[in-house]
Chain A
């Protein structure tokens, strides 16, 4: 499993390479096609474990930084088949919270996610209990002052059964600005919004983390 792109140097130099590695399973592993979620179906909720770090990438690996001290989502997981397979859905996603907005030097950034977003599984490593995949159908509107922008695409992600940690590791080109108004050169169409975040996922109402296991019968 690759480390999340939360480290500064990684953003500048390793984004493209990481994207390729995350998308392609090891050559020796047969792709999983049966995905077993335990329990299934199950409602889940999650909160960030560290600041969510975003960047509107204006030059390779650099741009407008945004930080969110609070972020959360809720949704559901379920067993599925295929590769990639949709093993879950996020019904509600929040970046920022009342009294804890996402901030940038341009001001507080308000995000309005358009859900549902899909949780797609692509590869599973049995020895570590780590599933690689992505968040799909991501659709997010941002507002800062008179600048409004919309990004769409997907976010690479990994899930670790032992801890219930979902690590989102955005990359260049994964989530891009598809429209904007009033942003000028600060959020041009085509620019990437790189999101790096760690969430702790729990079965709703419990302290238990659900498990995702991929197999190839």
Chain B
């Protein structure tokens, strides 16, 4: 193959050379800018560690895809033939499926880091699979296929794509096709320590304006222009539509670390740079509604949660909330005289890397007033979140009042603790023994333990709305009791009592700020609410 190849080969990568070789004789006749490039096929088998109900398990994850061998600045780079294969060992299969399960359907979401010099972003390669039979014995091999978002960069330099966390969702079914109990299972996987240095999937050289390097041969259909164009190329076949893929638009999130791009240059997804894009992705975690319905909404939430015992507050980071707006209905019960009511009840879920939880957050407190303790935690959702809305129309004043009650069953999981800077091993299962609880105004209607946050708003007739409004967002406040901790500690050391004494207790004030929702499922979402790829555009700021 002609020309230098500065691209270090990824793990088990091989170059598809046949097409290039066939046209090598024509290459000298073409100007450099008109030369199209070949593709590089990636075939990487990497060790991962998956957190399964039975505990952590090492699995093998095979990632295959094809990339353009190189690209010009501004040119689309779209991975094609993307497939992810997860090989679950027999020991893991027993823990992941129920006895009545005869088949399982898998979905995967692979986080792929994209870097160019100091620029960083992250995209998600989503895949789905047709149901496969659960083997009576031996490993379960699940292969998903799907679309990967395209990338463009306005600057020259090597683009490096790296495999990251993998979320695997499994939907087991019985022989009669019925769902099993539980109906779905999820596993969060990360590259194993021995994968270090092997997770680079591809390195794509990006030339300044035109493809650089020794020209390689064009494919037969090439009608490349004589100068490079930032628009999407027309001489490259469209990516295949993978079987089972349900999303028409791949999600193209950027990572929280992705910084601004002065002048619109630097790393970007193709969707971000497309004409008419209303705004770039905000600096926030991905918030993708995988299978939107016309009633789908999404929003970011962030705020503070006090820990009264520690006389401090913990910042709950910007968290994605996916909501299915309920139908607005006139309730059966008669309203008070002089009022008209209607209500909605909407379900919602937290979403972070495929799991129903907040992103991890770290807080430092002075325990017992002298010991600095830094804890990394997440809030895990252990049941459905509901958003109960009451709108009151007051006849005498023409005012509208809104009472919005969010009920969220959340467990506080402690991932990591440092005391005076020294690691304290809390083990893998350190969490509150029950969900956080709040005083429940309607315990008969909403039983169980959950956090209750209340949002109040109104619109005085003729004036702008004030406070919390349903889809516009605003402050949600409540008071929470943190239950005792359990399963904290390692190597026989029981830290439950220490954490319980330091943190657990009642009357902890919580204030969360909800941002403007994105109307994900409607035909034309308002441009000031959603990004081009239908994620929330508005990122709220926490308030105390």
Q: Which residue of B lies closest to A7 (CB)?
A: B462
Chain B 469-480, CB-CB to A under 8 Å as 1, else 0, gives 111110000000
Bound-state CA distance A145–B518 (Å) is 7
When the two chains form their complex, are residues A103 and B521 in contact, meaning their CB atoms are under 8 A apart?
no
Contact B328 A147 (CB under 8 A): yes
With known contacts A182-B294, A185-B328, A108–B469 Cβ distance under 8 A: yes
Contact: A8 with B398, CB < 8 Å? yes
Enumerate chain B residues within 8 angstroms of A51, measured Cβ to Cβ: 462-464
Q: Are B471 and A182 within 8 A (Cβ)?
A: no
A63–B394 Cα gap in the complex (Å)?
Answer: 9
B378 close to chain A: CB less than 8 A: no
Judge whether B517 and A145 touch: CB under 8 Å. yes
Contact residues of B between 309 and 355, Cβ < 8 Å to A: 325, 327-330, 340, 342, 344
Chain A 39-73 per-residue mask, 1 if CB under 8 angstroms from chain B, else 0: 00000000000010101001100111111010000
Number of B residues, CB within 8 Å of A: 44
Residue A163 is within 8 A (CB to CB) of chain B in the complex:
no
Most buried by B among A53, A59, A182: A182
Given A103-B459, A145-B519, A146-B297, do A62 and B329 touch, yes or no (CB 8 Å)? no
B362 CB–A CB distance under 8 Å: no
Bound Cα distance from A66 to B461, whole angstroms: 8
Q: B79-87, B120-128, B244-252, B399-407: which lies at the A interface?
A: B399-407
Q: Does B457 contact A (CB under 8 A)?
A: yes
The smallest C-beta distance from B296 to any residue of chain A, in angstroms, reads 7
CA distance A147 to B473 in the complex (A): 16
Asked whether A67 lies within 8 Å of B459 as measured between CB atoms, the reply is yes
A100 (CB) vs chain B CBs: closest residue:
B464
Q: Once A and B bind, how many residue pairs between them come within 8 Å at the CB atom?
A: 130
Task: Give the distance in Å from the alpha carbon of A148 to the alpha carbon of B330 in the complex.
Answer: 18
Most buried by B among A59, A62, A63: A62
Let me know if B397 is at the binding interface, CB within 8 A.
Answer: yes
- A103 near B400 (CB under 8 angstroms)? no
Known A-B contacts A11-B398, A64-B393, A67-B464; A103 and B469 likewise in contact (beta carbons under 8 Å): yes
1/0 contact string of A1-23 vs chain B (CB within 8 Å): 00000101001100000000000
- A107-B393 in contact (CB<8A): no
Contact indicator B464/A103 (Cβ below 8 Å): yes
- Looking at chain A's contact residues, the main secondary structure is strand
The answer on a CB contact under 8 Å between B519 and A143 is yes
Contacts of B23 in A (CB 8 A): none
Closest approach, in angstroms, between the C-beta of B300 and any C-beta of chain A?
15
Which residue of the partner chain, among A63, A98, A110, A145, contacts B393 with CB atoms under 8 Å?
A63
Which residue in B295, B296, B461 is a CB contact (below 8 Å) of A65? B461
B399 is contacted by which of A65, A103, A184, A186 (Cβ under 8 Å)?
Answer: A65
- Residues in B with CB closer than 8 Å to A11 are 398
Q: Are B295 and A144 in contact (CB under 8 A)?
A: no
Sampled A-B contacts (29; CB under 8 Å): A6-B462, A8-B462, A11-B398, A51-B464, A53-B461, A64-B391, A101-B472, A101-B528, A103-B472, A104-B465, A105-B400, A105-B401, A105-B402, A105-B457, A105-B469, A107-B471, A108-B471, A108-B472, A108-B529, A110-B529, A144-B471, A145-B325, A145-B517, A146-B295, A146-B296, A146-B325, A182-B294, A184-B329, A186-B391
Q: Which 7 A-B pairs have CB atoms at the shortest separation, nearest pair first?
A: A107-B471, A145-B471, A184-B328, A103-B465, A105-B402, A107-B472, A186-B328
> 17 extra interchain contacts, Cβ-Cβ under 8 A, other than A65-B459, A104-B400, A182-B295?
A62-B398, A64-B391, A65-B462, A98-B528, A104-B469, A105-B401, A106-B470, A107-B471, A107-B516, A108-B529, A110-B529, A145-B297, A145-B517, A146-B296, A146-B522, A148-B523, A185-B329
